[in-house]
Amino acid sequence: MRHAELKMLVLALVLASSSGCVAAAAGGVGAGVYYSDRGAESLVSAPIDKVFEASRQTFQELSITETKTSSESEGGSAERQLKGTGNDRDITVTLRTEGSSTKVEVVANKSAVTWDKDLAKRILEKIVEKSK
């Protein structure tokens, strides 16, 4: 493992442990995908606009109908959200800038109190791949 990859892996593990996540799988450098309380999340080494476009492409590929988008900026940080429906699930992708990277959280609601973490992880893995 190259030195830079090792640094990113350590950073991802530190971020995961500080937010209560459990490692699920590792993608490329700085793109580990982790289960969260309600879905899956990752820190992607790409600007928020690129990750947002990758999210839209993933929705199209997986036949998720886009229902709403939102965008907020404050100071040097930004947050974007993409919502949709598919596979009898309500899907929400939330993007937040973290330096030059983007934190991505995907939630796939089965109902108001149950989540499909495996679907969220699958969606997020595609977003990470398309963000490279």
CATH number of the domain enclosing 86? 3.30.310.70
How far is the C-alpha of 25 from the C-alpha of 111, rounded, in Å?
26
pLDDT tens track for 70-128: 999 998 899 999 999 998 999 999 999 999 999 999 999 999 899 999 999 999 999 99
Overall number of domains in the chain:
1
Task: Using the structure block, give the residue that is written with the tokens 């990750």.
Answer: 51
- For residue 1, pLDDT beyond 50: no
How far is the C-alpha of 68 from the C-alpha of 82, rounded, in Å?
6
Domain that holds residue 46: 37-130
Pairing type for strands 77-86 and 89-98 reads: antiparallel
Q: What is the pLDDT of residue 29?
A: 40
Full-model pTM: 0.77
Cα atoms found within 13 Å of the Cα of residue 78, Cβ hemisphere only: 13
- For residue 4, pLDDT beyond 50: no
Residue 29 lies in a domain: no
Residue 30 lies in a domain: no
Residue 58 lies in a domain: yes
Residue 75 lies in a domain: yes
- For residue 129, pLDDT beyond 80: yes
Residue 26 lies in a domain: no
How far is the C-alpha of 132 from the C-alpha of 112, rounded, in Å?
33
Residue 3 lies in a domain: no
How far is the C-alpha of 118 from the C-alpha of 129, rounded, in Å?
17
Q: For residue 53, which amino acid is it?
A: E
Per-residue buried b or exposed e for 26-40, using 16+ beta carbons within 10 Å of the residue's own CB: bbebbbbbbbbebbb
